[in-house]
Structure 1
Amino acid sequence: MTFLEELQKQRWDDHRYYHHNRINQFLHLLSASCFLVSYVLVFFHPAAAALVGWLLAMTLRQTGHFFFEPKTYDEVNKASHDYKESVKVGYNLNRKVVLLSIWALTPVALLLGPDLFGLLSPATDLAGFISNMALVWLFIGLGAVLFRTVHLFKLMGVQSGLVWMTKILTDPFHDIKIYQKAPYYILKGEMYDTMEDWYEDRSLHNEV
């Protein structure tokens, strides 16, 4: 596959396997909007960007995955939850638990070692503590993306790793595009996406 073809495939697999629930889609829409704010803030106030990215964007996003997305057998794609977890290119739920645990333990680490082994200037007040914590969160986020990208270089090849990194960085724009109608479907009472339109579109595309 070309780079763009693999990007399309990774996006398609992520959508069809992990975004059936309309509330999850709506939370991804909100999350994507927060991430775009974070993208702007990172150039002017990195600490604020990290706070928006983790406390708002990531919390909304992972709430959708952990609490609303069904973990039962996927009749639409004829796949078990365990299978989907095993073929997930990026962070599956188990990997996310590890990542989120590291994120959640950051305040504890800073309380025990305010200078974080000499990497930071110790905070002298609450504002300084929050700023240091936010900066650590920023590097955790960037590190998580880079770590998985390099890991995918080994597992699937350099192109697949770069495709995944591109997907992750552009997900906010793509999520807004494909999930903007989620509130409309929720108001209609359609709580689950059957993926029928998506499969029809892909079928027509493949025929062409």
Structure 2
Amino acid sequence: PGAATRFTPLIAVLALIGVVYGAWVAAAQKDMKKLVAYSSVSHLALVVLGIFAGNVTAVSGAVMQMVGHGLTTGLLFLLVGVLYERRHTREMADYGGVASQVPVTTTLFVIAMLGSVGLPGLNGFVGEFLILAGVFKANVWWAAVAATGLILGAIYLLTLTQKVFWGPNRVEANLGLTDINGWELAGAMPMIVLVVVLGVWPQPVLDLVRNSVETVVQIAAVRMVP
């Protein structure tokens, strides 16, 4: 904890660079899988920032964000895989207007995407809100830069969804696209349920980690005393 507190400003700067740069690179991707992967860099940099903000609110948010991000990103990867299994391409330009062919896949993807963006009522909102609230207590400018990264995240994920599922159908091969099957749906549904449940009822997770979070924050605070 002593070393962590000494290097907090440096690590916070690196985390902020990760949040913004990861989002910027994700926005430039044309491959769906790479976009989701770079979004992970940005979201986990936000987790690091929350941990090094050094207060209970931010660290609790970081834990929630790790749980939530694991669910939404795992779900996004699964659904990108569902599309790839049928079309053998992950390029956004090879899709467009497929929502009418794969309505269930589209619905699941939109829920996962909105969870990752941090829509209130879904799991991503809880972690992001707590992190930003806690980081704001530690440093207003850190919170402002982190919020910029989250805005970029919303832009590239909404753009991904629009290009793949809506708009004109640019490729004839998409007309024969089949929807998610039963086995794939069985893998996706538990994650979908948790994305919604943790968005409206995050308290069990927060209660579970509260004592550990408070202990870590207290130890770090003691180490900061000269």
Structure with the largest fraction of helix? 2
Give the TM-score range, shorter chain: 0.3 to 0.5
TM-score after normalising by structure 2: 0.33
